[in-house]
Structure 1
Amino acid sequence: MYTLPSKLKLFAIIFMVVGAIGIISGFLTAPSTTAEVKEMMAGHHEEGHGEDHDATSIHDVSDTATTAHDSEEAHLEHTLHQMQNRPWSALYIASFFFFMIALGTLAFYAIQYAAQAGWSPVLFRVMEGITAYLPIASIIIFILLLLSAFHVNHIFHWMDPELVNPESEHYDKLIDGKSGWLNVPFFLIRAAIYLLGWNLYRYISRRNSLRDDTAEDNRWFKKNFKLSAGFLVFFIVTESMMSWDWIMSFDPHWFSTLFGWYVFAGMMVCAITVIAMVTIVLKSQGYLEYVNDSHIHDLAKFMFAFSIFWTYLWFSQFMLIWYANIPEEVTYFVTRIEDYNLPFFGMLVMNFIFPVLLLMNSDYKRVNWFVILTGIVILLGHYVDVFNMVMPGTVGTSWYIGLPEIGSILFFFGLFVWVVFTALTKAPLLAKRNPFIKESKHFHY
């Protein structure tokens, strides 16, 4: 049985406390009035004043001044909403990022069962420990969705009822046309179905796995095999729908038919990276005696493969939209290239160039510290990827990396470490009755 080191507990608690302080500071420092926004922007803008007082153009000057004042007020109001959205967006991004690691691990676990893989059963309890974060992450993200639905924040722009009211000056015909799908009640019902389905599979498969340890036959393994095959069908449909609802709808005028696969690829590479990193940490503490360099090598191969797959999907989505140059589609990338230049291109380096160069060599995939180093860069790169998907639609040009962003990452990282490593103490780290366990123990090449 695994014993949680006291240093790791302290480490997780410190990260959660420091992160919570950062999150709270982010909310407290967000402006509450346009006057505060104007004060914040004072150092960045210079106001010019004309000297022409021609009596024949007093009306023109007056009308122009009124129009300019109204325009400035509208701009300040828009910037205020962006700045108020920033701490909510930072919280949402970090919450979703760690949620997708747990969900991706659950999908990878189901794939191993459905494929009856012989190399991976010694890693099953590591995967089950990581998926233990899924129920908590699900509750947190559903609460955030509820807060948006009840207009506590405005990160989901399409939830504004004025946009689907034909009599309103803010009426948006495109969003109204999508209101059959993008409406709050149906949005929340779908979210509940996704979360219940994923967590139900997680609960039943974990229970069957533990029962298999003391079983006299393979019936619990067979149940998990059938359950996993069915779950994967449910998952691939609901994961795509989830990515449309929870990420793509931040830009409600834009859509991509590749988006569900794109989010899936990022989710899987993050999940496999975390499986490898947790395995290496446990191995360094003297646990997982049957895990060898060949297992780490296989995990690193999956990290490499899904990094290539992610890049393929990114380029396919980007190239087709950019080449077609249709205004309502290409605007998505123009906004990110102009306003998010560094994170947009930096993400490509971290998610493609860096892992390809480091993991191309087969020998490097067996070097634990090398896999950890690559994993850290991959995880940071995919956090930036989620950042790029969310921030332009919620915060626009008012973004930067500060207290709410760093605090949110630290808090959810601490919570993730606490939950995962605590879950690992609840059961033996070897699924000893799995019919493929002997093959997994002696896996070498």
Structure 2
Amino acid sequence: MKTHNNFDEQFEFGGKARTWSLVAIVIGVVAIALGFLTGNVERTFANLLLMAYYTTCVSLAGAFFCAVQYVTQSGWSAAILRVPHAFIRILPIPAIILIVVVVAGLTMTHTITNHEGQEVVAPYLYKIWGAHDVTKEGSEHFDALIAGKSGFLNIGFFLARVVGFLAAYILLSRLFVKYSTNEDELAGMSNYDKSFKLACVFLVIFGFTIPVFAFDVIMSLEAHWFSTMFGWYNFAALWVTGLATMTLIIIYLRSQGYLSWVTQDHLHNLGQLMFGFSVFWTYLWFAQFLLTWYANIPEETAYFYKRWEPEFKPWFWFSIVINFLTPLLVLMARDFKRSTAILKTACIIIICGHWFDYFQMIMPGTVEHYHEWYSAVLWIEVGTFIGFAGMFAFLVLNALTKFKALAPKNHPFLQESLHHHI
């Protein structure tokens, strides 16, 4: 950027970033195709669900970030709002991919052996409640517990909820971008006031529905189990991975000469949020695990017992180490949060760490047993992750080029943000 306050310069997406993101997408497509062609259909569906849910959650974090900043009338973040705005702009794409994966996983079936040794026709995803005749009284496959939940867990209502929630998030969050870009053109407080009111509505809707969204997409994979903490546990993962991804993109933009007005003080704030919500995630992880353990409720302890089987137990403990101890030690010191290199490392650790977190949520209830624990993460997992990461990077950086400026130049708190110091 030519001057410190040159807010009119647009982002240009090209060079190595564009090339490598496209290469990553190709790697992902090849890995997914090979997964289906080599007979690893169930495992490929599980990985598609994992990454579609992950990228949707990270995109949603952009909308939540904007809403929180408007409701709290925060000034420090005004200078970096274009990055979460880009997350909002791309949200429809991972949301549509997630819906396609869920629908395909529910409608495509195969024969499996259930826990009672019976062969049943079941979908590739949500096999416990989506299997044929599990709610039909008198059937040899009848499951009384699932039948009791069938008013909520039935395909029609399930898909209506998933699609309805995502549509509401997309429609509401896109108004944040609309009002902000209108603000650039018209100035004044009118659009900021609209954003404030919108944020209040969005947070109420988001707060009540995001736990149900997590219950539907992830927890219902193991429909015999239930935890009222699971929705907030997922929210904590959504928020901290979104913060890490935003921070990583901001660091990249600064390294390319953009966002020159963003200082170490802004990055420090983002580091504080990542540190704090990594601890919050750990609190929910520990509470969900410990309460289930000492309550000794068989239908709930089965969830964790499965994750203590040999092929998952090392990843179970690795997840808590990488998602709690590592961010705690890396981001605890003030100087560490003000070091771009250390902060970038912390972001990468958190992004990869919460992939393992989602892996632990999805794989044990979706994929048949692996031979060894180290065979649970192989080329399908790595290739799918790379593909979705490349897609996300490409979409976000391309979305940034659509803004006339990388700063909301008529935001009422922009000057406060430019002079932010802690």
Same fold by TM (over 0.5)?
yes
* 2:369 equivalent in structure 1: 397
* 1:154 equivalent in structure 2: 124
* 1:334 equivalent in structure 2: 305
* 1:47 equivalent in structure 2: none
Is the contact between residue 25 and residue 403 of structure 1 (CA under 8 Å) also seen in structure 2? no
Is the contact between residue 23 and residue 403 of structure 1 (CA under 8 Å) also seen in structure 2? no
Deviation >3 Å, runs of 4+: none
Is the contact between residue 102 and residue 271 of structure 1 (CA under 8 Å) also seen in structure 2? yes
Query: Equivalents in 2 of 1:95, 1:288: separation in Å?
Result: 29
* 2:113 equivalent in structure 1: none
* 1:343 equivalent in structure 2: 315
Q: How does 1:286-435 map to 2 (within 5 A)?
A: 286-338=257-309, 339-398=311-370, 400-427=376-403, 428-435=405-412
One-letter amino acid matched to 1:132: R
In percent, how many aligned pairs have the same letter? 38
Spell out, residue by residue over 1:107-162, the C-alpha distance to the aligned partner (whole angstroms, 9 max, x if none): 11111111110100001001111222211011101111211332354211111132
Query: Equivalents in 2 of 1:215, 1:131: separation in Å?
Result: 22
- Indicate the SS of the match to 2:103: helix
Query: Equivalents in 2 of 1:180, 1:89: separation in Å?
Result: 25
Spell out, residue by residue over 1:66-93, the C-alpha distance to the aligned partner (whole angstroms, 9 max, x if none): xxxxxxxxxxxxxxxxx54111101111
User: 1:183 offset after TM fit, Å?
Assistant: 0.3
Query: Equivalents in 2 of 1:298, 1:229: separation in Å?
Result: 23
Is the contact between residue 99 and residue 133 of structure 1 (CA under 8 Å) also seen in structure 2? no
Is the contact between residue 347 and residue 385 of structure 1 (CA under 8 Å) also seen in structure 2? yes
One-letter amino acid matched to 1:376: I
Query: Equivalents in 2 of 1:269, 1:105: separation in Å?
Result: 11
Query: Equivalents in 2 of 1:370, 1:316: separation in Å?
Result: 30
Compare 96-105 and 416-425 and name the one that shifted more.
Answer: 96-105
- Indicate the SS of the match to 2:376: coil
Query: Equivalents in 2 of 1:96, 1:145: separation in Å?
Result: 10
Is the contact between residue 106 and residue 125 of structure 2 (CA under 8 Å) also seen in structure 1? no
Structure 1 alignment gaps of length 5 or more: 31-82
Compare 412-421 and 124-133 and name the one that shifted more.
Answer: 124-133
Spell out, residue by residue over 1:38-60, the C-alpha distance to the aligned partner (whole angstroms, 9 max, x if none): xxxxxxxxxxxxxxxxxxxxxxx
Is the contact between residue 243 and residue 273 of structure 2 (CA under 8 Å) also seen in structure 1? yes
Query: Equivalents in 2 of 1:189, 1:96: separation in Å?
Result: 17
* 2:31 equivalent in structure 1: 22
User: 1:203 offset after TM fit, Å?
Assistant: 1.7
- Compare the two structures and name the one with the higher helix fraction: 1
- Indicate the SS of the match to 1:162: coil
User: 1:176 offset after TM fit, Å?
Assistant: 0.6
**2:143 pairs with 1:172:** yes
Corresponding residue to 2:93 among 119, 136, 160 = 136
Q: How does 1:171-320 map to 2 (within 5 A)?
A: 171-320=142-291
User: 1:167 offset after TM fit, Å?
Assistant: 2.4
One-letter amino acid matched to 2:108: H
User: 1:180 offset after TM fit, Å?
Assistant: 0.4
Corresponding residue to 1:111 among 52, 55, 68 = 68
Is the contact between residue 243 and residue 259 of structure 1 (CA under 8 Å) also seen in structure 2? yes
Is the contact between residue 110 and residue 232 of structure 1 (CA under 8 Å) also seen in structure 2? yes
Spell out, residue by residue over 1:321-375, the C-alpha distance to the aligned partner (whole angstroms, 9 max, x if none): 1112221111111110224111110001110000001111011001011011111
User: 1:202 offset after TM fit, Å?
Assistant: 2.1
Query: Equivalents in 1 of 2:342, 2:37: separation in Å?
Result: 40
* 1:88 equivalent in structure 2: 45
One-letter amino acid matched to 1:100: C
Is the contact between residue 25 and residue 390 of structure 2 (CA under 8 Å) also seen in structure 1? yes
Query: Equivalents in 2 of 1:324, 1:131: separation in Å?
Result: 41
Corresponding residue to 2:56 among 99, 117, 128 = 99
Is the contact between residue 278 and residue 324 of structure 2 (CA under 8 Å) also seen in structure 1? yes
Query: Equivalents in 1 of 2:60, 2:102: separation in Å?
Result: 17
Query: Equivalents in 2 of 1:271, 1:301: separation in Å?
Result: 14
The structure with the largest alpha-carbon Rg is 1
One-letter amino acid matched to 1:27: F
Query: Equivalents in 2 of 1:174, 1:425: separation in Å?
Result: 51
User: 1:406 offset after TM fit, Å?
Assistant: 1.5
- Indicate the SS of the match to 1:132: helix
Task: Call closer, same or farther: CA 1:123–1:13 in 2, change over 3 Å.
Answer: same
Is the contact between residue 91 and residue 404 of structure 1 (CA under 8 Å) also seen in structure 2? no
Query: Equivalents in 2 of 1:193, 1:218: separation in Å?
Result: 32
Query: Equivalents in 2 of 1:98, 1:298: separation in Å?
Result: 23
Is the contact between residue 247 and residue 270 of structure 2 (CA under 8 Å) also seen in structure 1? yes
